[in-house]
Amino acid sequence: MAPRSFLDVLVLVLALAALSHRAKAGRSFFVFGDSLVDNGNNNYLATTARADAYPYGIDFPTHRPTGRFSNGLNIPDYLSKQLGSEFLLPYLSPELNGRRLLDGANFASAGIGILNDTGIQFINIIRMFRQLEYFEEYQKRVAALIGAQKTTQLVNGALVLVTVGGNDFVNNYYLVPFSARSRQYALPDYVKVLIVEYQKLLMRLHELGARRVLVTGTGPLGCVPAELAMRGSNGGQCSAELQRAAALYNPQLLQMIKGLNAQVGSNVFVAVNTQQMHNDFVSNPQAFGFETSKVACCGQGPYNGLGLCTGASNLCSNRDAYAFWDAFHPSQKANGMIVKQMLSGSTKYMYPMNLTTIFELDSRA
């Protein structure tokens, strides 16, 4: 039926807006993975992989360090904004109780990888299998609050973000030259192992009730300031070896995700091409308002890429002009741009669809 009057159109528009609002508001959100998405779990652990001291958090609303590996907001924070929710609490936070549980939880832990032995040097961190165990425990806690059936609905209706894999290269295969792992596997074989293990983790997530899962690839691993400082031999060229790793891994991840969706019979998993998103900054930083995508805002040595970002490091004054906050992690500004691409990017960035489309589809479900 065609709308007959201006009033009908107005009512229709309002109804659609309310629907789309409903699809987002009150939707729970879960995050799994590494330091790119950790928002403070490692603060509660005895580990060296932490971001709980100045100048981390300098641009966060509280201007204090939180455990996020950013000068301010990270990718989950920008996604929470899109959902109209408060920022997620880390699962280990004692404040995550009662009604706050219904917003979801962040299980991520800096330093971890797909494989259990990635990041062993960080000792006490929450590996992927453990993050998934915590997710089960979380569901039991919520069921005690609102019942099993409503808990299943909450989990099925949630948005999920998984960001893991970079450390399996940087903090495992390439941790030291001639690492045990690199002697065990040639790079193409290692990538296959990672994809097989990652697939198991994603299937487990599906078994646990996840139905909308954003899966990020790795960034351009060889172009982060740490790699420019350590390996980029001539004039800030990206490390060819790490770029080769990312170039092998990301397309296979996409294929794996397509296969998983075919297997479960719906578009549960969405591949986020973070490599392309970052490559855009790296190849033309000025187009995105960055002065540099090579030099980190906080650090020391060439490209501010050596060692940790601490109170004793160089700290840039115009933090929005840097694509990288520290030697490995994007700045708040870059994180915001990545989430913008997640929302409205073409299928080159978001496969098979972007978040706007997901919100629209789910509002009709």
Ligand X SMILES: *[C@@H]1O[C@H](CO)[C@@H](O)[C@H](O)[C@H]1NC(C)=O
Binding site for ligand X (CB under 6 A): 115-116, 129, 197, 344, 346-347, 353-354, 356-357
CB-nearer residue toward ligand X: 43 or 357:
357
Residue number with CB closer to ligand X (175 or 353): 353
Instruction: Name every residue whose Cβ is closer than 8 Å to that of residue 194 and which is 6 or more positions away in sequence.
Output: 114, 115, 165, 168, 249
Give the 3-state secondary structure of residue 65.
coil
Q: CB 120: neighbour CB atoms within 10 A?
A: 15
Nearer to ligand X, 116 or 156 (CB): 116
Residue 151 beta carbon to ligand X: minimum distance, rounded to whole angstroms: 24
How many Å apart are CA 169 and CA 239, to the nearest integer? 13
- CA distances in angstroms from 297 to 40, 140, 323, 324, 365, listed in the order given: 21, 42, 8, 6, 44
241 class by beta-carbon count within 10 Å (0-12 exposed, 13-18 middle, 19+ buried): middle
Report in angstroms how near the CB of residue 228 gets to ligand X at its nearest. 31
> Closer CB to ligand X, residue 51 or residue 194?
194
The one catalytic residue among 28, 93, 239, 329? 329
CB of 347 to ligand X, least distance (A): 5
- Structural contact between residues 32 and 108, judged by C-beta atoms closer than 8 angstroms: yes
Q: In the annotation, is 77 catalytic?
A: no
Least distance from ligand X to the Cβ atom of residue 45, Å = 17
Torsion of CA 317, 318, 319, 325, to 10 degrees: -60
Residue 128 Cβ vs ligand X, minimum distance, rounded to whole Å: 8
- Contact in structure between 90 and 44 (CB atoms under 8 Å): yes
Structure token pair of residue 204:
């487990």
Active site residue 329: yes
For strand 298-299 and strand 269-272, is the pairing parallel, antiparallel, or unpaired?
Answer: unpaired
The half-sphere exposure of 84 on its side-chain side, counting CA atoms within 13 A, is 9
CA distance 325 to 322: 7
Q: Active site includes 35?
A: yes
Q: How far is CA 304 from the centre of its chain?
A: 23
Residue tagged active-site, from 28, 34, 35, 85: 35
> Strands 314-315 and 298-299, how do they pair?
antiparallel
Min CB(261)–ligand X separation in Å: 15
Least distance (Å) between residue 352 CB and ligand X: 8
Q: How many CB atoms lie within 10 A of CB 304?
A: 28
Catalytic residues: 35, 326, 329
